[in-house]
Amino acid sequence: MEGVLVSARAEGSIATLTVVSDKEGLFRFPAGKLRPGKHSLAIRAVGYELDGSALVEIAAADQAPLDLRLRKARDLAAQLTNTEWFTSTPGTAEQKRPLIECLSCHTFERIARSTQNAEEMLPVLKRMVKYSNNSTMARVQTRIVERGYDENGLRKLAEYLASINLSKGPQWSYPLKTLPRPTGRATRVLITEYDLPRKTIAPHDVILGRDGALWYSNFTENFLGRLDPRSGEHSEFAYPEVKPGWPQGALSVEADRKGDLWLSTMFQTGLIKFDMKTRVFRHFPLPPELNGDATGQAMVMPAQSHVDGKVWTTDVDKRTILRLDLKSGKYQSIAPFQAPPRHHFPYGLVADKANNLYFMDFGGEALGRVDAKTTKVTLYQTPAPRSRPRRTMIDAKGRIWFAEYGANRVAMFDTKREEIHEWEAPTPHTYPYDVHMDKHETLWSGSMTSDRILRLDPKTGQSVEYLLPRQTNVRRVFVDDRKKPVTFWTGSNHGASIVGLTPLD
């Protein structure tokens, strides 16, 4: 069988290594990667499960032949990705569209296995409106200010959910559809997953620090995390709870030119700078007139703050851009949209060499530019409708690369020609969250739904999708391209782990 993911984890280790079988059914772990001793084994091949012992003893020799036998899965539904659920369930695109918001907190399987009818489902949906977006099943957090909702819209959604769940019987009324297993280049990969010490840790953004370690923002707790992939050493740095009782956790983590790290602290409000040498946090609080009960900072962009002493951020409540003056500590508010702002949502941020800001309109279908000198805002519409651009990065040529979450595409904005180019993800219902262009001009992206990592050559349009060994709620993606082959990094926001992927071709 080609395309079977085989995972091995040494006894007492936090790291799980995964390879993929080739067209002859052979799998090989690179020499020196597995240490001698007992290892637990796992496989991922939709429709199948491991038949026999999941433990193996590996000797010191380089070669340790092992035959694995698979059997048909007893519970196929437990193996489906969110994308496969989207593909399996009947319904229109408009009926399914609201469900992509559910996946920020839990899987589609949780919906499909529910047994509530439409009337019973409605209060469940109303309760979920109260939860903050930095919630997971391991750590649910409630908003201080409840959001409004459309009663009629929720009722229609409840009726649709009741039509696809188990409210009418023990079996689904539709066949379960699966995606093909990896083939060809998609099988030539090594994946290393590092488990973090608590299930409540939600590594939202992962970046490589100048010390060679991986640093991550914890989406549900007031910690900045560090993992050294060379030694497996893990450490956390706590920052104070500024607003007791409000949801905790940070979303974005970014580095300035010195290598110091900045966090956007969501509902705890304000920005936090972490000095890499002293290991000390500095908080830049919002003034009272900007700090309401629903205020939150989702994004931060300090990369070019050395140019003019300004750091960019956002306010998720008012849908505005904020700019922090490092000398005075004061924030300037910039409204990038005309009324009604609730139809828009400034999200992913990146700055060019002059500290002009580029941002994504996650609520709409445009990216924007804020002139650093005049604060003039210019919006550029995406070719794809309902694109919902999300996270972004800028390459060495000054091009802006971004994910079009709603349009199932990745895109590039040519800042010189002011043109947008788009590439569709090969798998439907991928919903790419973020992108990263490496120095070899290969574009990488991650899916919140398909458990697949996209590797795309924008020049040829050719792509490879690597399947991950476990359900992985991918958010921020990062590529370490200092060596060839490169290593792709991301956090499993729901799985309390950090994932590294290295192509072997």
Q: What pLDDT digit, counting tens, does each position of 312-335 carry?
A: 999 999 999 999 999 999 999 999
Nearest in space to 349 (alpha carbons), one of 321, 382, 328: 321
Residue 53 has pLDDT above 90, yes or no: no
Residue 226 has pLDDT above 70, yes or no: yes
Q: How many folded domains does the chain comprise?
A: 3
Q: What percent of the chain has pLDDT over 90?
A: 93
| Residue after which a domain boundary falls, among 133, 164, 195 | 164
CATH of the domain at 204: 2.130.10.10
CB 80 within 8 A of CB 422: no
Q: Look-up: residue for tokens 């706590």?
A: 238
State pLDDT tens for residues 183-195.
Answer: 999 999 999 999 9
**Chain centroid, CA 351 distance in Å:** 21
Residue 219 has pLDDT above 70, yes or no: yes
Q: Which residues contact 92 (CB under 8 A, 6 or more apart)?
A: none
Domain contains 333: yes
**Tokens standing for 183?**
């083939």
- In this structure, the answer to whether residues 190 and 273 fall within a common structural domain is yes
Q: Is 161 exposed, middle or buried, given 0-12, 13-18 or 19+ CB atoms closer than 10 A?
A: buried
Q: Which residues contact 91 (CB under 8 A, 6 or more apart)?
A: 160, 163, 164
- In this structure, the answer to whether residues 23 and 113 fall within a common structural domain is no
Q: What is the strand order of the sheet 409-414 is part of?
A: 389-394, 400-404, 409-414, 419-424
| Residue after which a domain boundary falls, among 164, 198, 227 | 164
Residue 416 has pLDDT above 80, yes or no: yes
- In this structure, the answer to whether residues 90 and 205 fall within a common structural domain is no
Q: Which residues contact 457 (CB under 8 A, 6 or more apart)?
A: 441, 442, 443, 463
- In this structure, the answer to whether residues 64 and 92 fall within a common structural domain is no
- The structure's pTM equals 0.96
> What is the band of 62 on the pLDDT scale with cuts at 50, 70, 90?
low
Domain contains 177: no
Domain contains 217: yes
pLDDT value of residue 61: 62
Q: What is the average pLDDT across 357-386?
A: 97
Q: What is the average pLDDT across 104-126?
A: 97
- The verdict on whether omega for the bond into residue 175 sits within 30 degrees of 0, i.e. cis, is no
Nearest in space to 165 (alpha carbons), one of 219, 85, 266: 85
- Containing structural domain, residue 204: 184-503
pLDDT value of residue 59: 82
CB 260 within 8 A of CB 276: yes
Domain contains 176: no
Determine the Cα angle at 415 with ends 411 and 416, to 5°: 130
Residue 453 has pLDDT above 70, yes or no: yes
Residue 38 has pLDDT above 90, yes or no: yes
pLDDT value of residue 428: 95
Domain contains 23: yes
State pLDDT tens for residues 127-176.
Answer: 999 999 999 999 999 999 988 899 999 999 999 999 999 999 999 999 99
> What is the band of 495 on the pLDDT scale with cuts at 50, 70, 90?
very high
- In this structure, the answer to whether residues 46 and 145 fall within a common structural domain is no
Nearest in space to 187 (alpha carbons), one of 452, 503, 442: 503
Residue 343 has pLDDT above 90, yes or no: no
State pLDDT tens for residues 70-85.
Answer: 999 999 999 999 999 9
| Residue after which a domain boundary falls, among 164, 195, 225 | 164
- In this structure, the answer to whether residues 376 and 450 fall within a common structural domain is yes
Whole-number average pLDDT of the chain: 96
> What is the band of 31 on the pLDDT scale with cuts at 50, 70, 90?
confident
Q: What is the average pLDDT across 339-354?
A: 89
Domain contains 141: yes
Q: What is the average pLDDT across 369-378?
A: 98
